[in-house]
Amino acid sequence: MNFETTMKPNEPSRTALVPARQRAAHQLLDHGAILYDPFAIKILREDEREVLQFARAHPLASIGRLFTAARSRIAEDALSAALQRGIRQIVILGAGLDTFALRNPHGACEIRIYEVDHPATQAWKRERLAEAELALPPGLVFVPVDFERDDLGEMLLAAGFQPNSPAFFTWLGVVPFLTEEAIAGALDYVASIHDSEVVFDYMEPPQAFSEELRQIEKARAEQLEKMGEGSATRFEPAGMAGMLRSRGLRDIEDISFHEIRSRFGGDIQGLPPGHAGLHVVHARH
């Protein structure tokens, strides 16, 4: 199964930097109320003033901060429940500067964490970990995958992943940057693992965003396209549900931005009004 992305070869993903800055800003401005991450600023290797400048660059930037923190919190809450059900393999697709392996509160469970990302992005992350003098935790396995050329299943297998054992997949901040064919291929692989679970996020078409957010999203998409990482795919909720059910993925929980705002919005400093067509999905096979 091959992914198709527009990332430039031999360069780390620029889109990995934005959520990392948002997680760091969440620690500084919101005191990690949704997702406490003591490593967010360390791994970023940026001055706090730079992070705050980024966070305050636009009055609606806090909406992105809310969504980034909330989707990780939703994924990690679902993971905790999955571990109680006996899952011991975790696959983080498009890991970027994710810090879960550093923060892992489930050390007693002897879990294996497979971080999957483009080789250049992983090399960039390793450099930042080394600069921050953060040791690689036990149980963490880096799986470098060039999504345009490599087969995800083959690369995971070579890294020690057990395809006959259940697994929990997180796939955050990635789906909007893939083709529908690549998304379908990834879901096919997840569904091939018995008793697997996945948490991912997706975007609705532009009309699902309130006007000001729609303009910001349009400008962001244009900027990413110029950088070679343009957004590609949007889904209506019914279409996404159909895609999941057709692969035998069930117990589908589709959490809308409205629900996220209701649940977590009070924890975000200066959160403005506005509706975003953003969703977080948790589904089980």
| Residue pLDDT, tens place only, 124-159 | 999 999 999 999 998 999 999 987 678 999 999 999
Read off the pLDDT of residues 43-63 as tens digits, 9 standing for 90 and up.
999 999 999 999 998 878 899
Judge whether 147 lies within some domain: yes
Instruction: Give the range of the structural domain holding residue 163, as residue numbers without chain letter.
Output: 14-284
Judge whether 3 lies within some domain: no
Distance of CA 264 to the CA centre of its chain: 18
Tally of domains in the chain: 1
Would you give per-residue pLDDT tens digits along the chain (285 residues)? 443 344 455 556 667 888 999 999 999 999 999 999 999 999 999 999 999 999 998 878 899 999 999 999 999 999 999 999 999 999 999 999 999 999 999 987 889 999 999 999 999 999 999 999 999 998 999 999 987 678 999 999 999 999 999 999 999 999 988 888 889 989 999 999 999 999 999 999 988 999 888 887 777 777 767 766 656 689 999 999 999 999 999 999 999 999 999 999 999 999 999 899 999 999 999
Judge whether 29 lies within some domain: yes
The 8-class DSSP code of residue 250 comes to E
Judge whether 271 lies within some domain: yes
Q: Model pTM?
A: 0.92
> Residue 52 belongs to a domain with what CATH number?
3.40.50.150
Question: CA-to-CA distance for 97 and 222, rounded, in angstroms?
Answer: 24
Residues 279/254, Cβ–Cβ less than 8 Å? yes
Residues 28/55, Cβ–Cβ less than 8 Å? yes
Judge whether 130 lies within some domain: yes
Judge whether 218 lies within some domain: yes
Residues 38/103, Cβ–Cβ less than 8 Å? yes
CA distances from 157 to 86, 152, 193 (A): 20, 9, 12
Judge whether 261 lies within some domain: yes
Judge whether 192 lies within some domain: yes
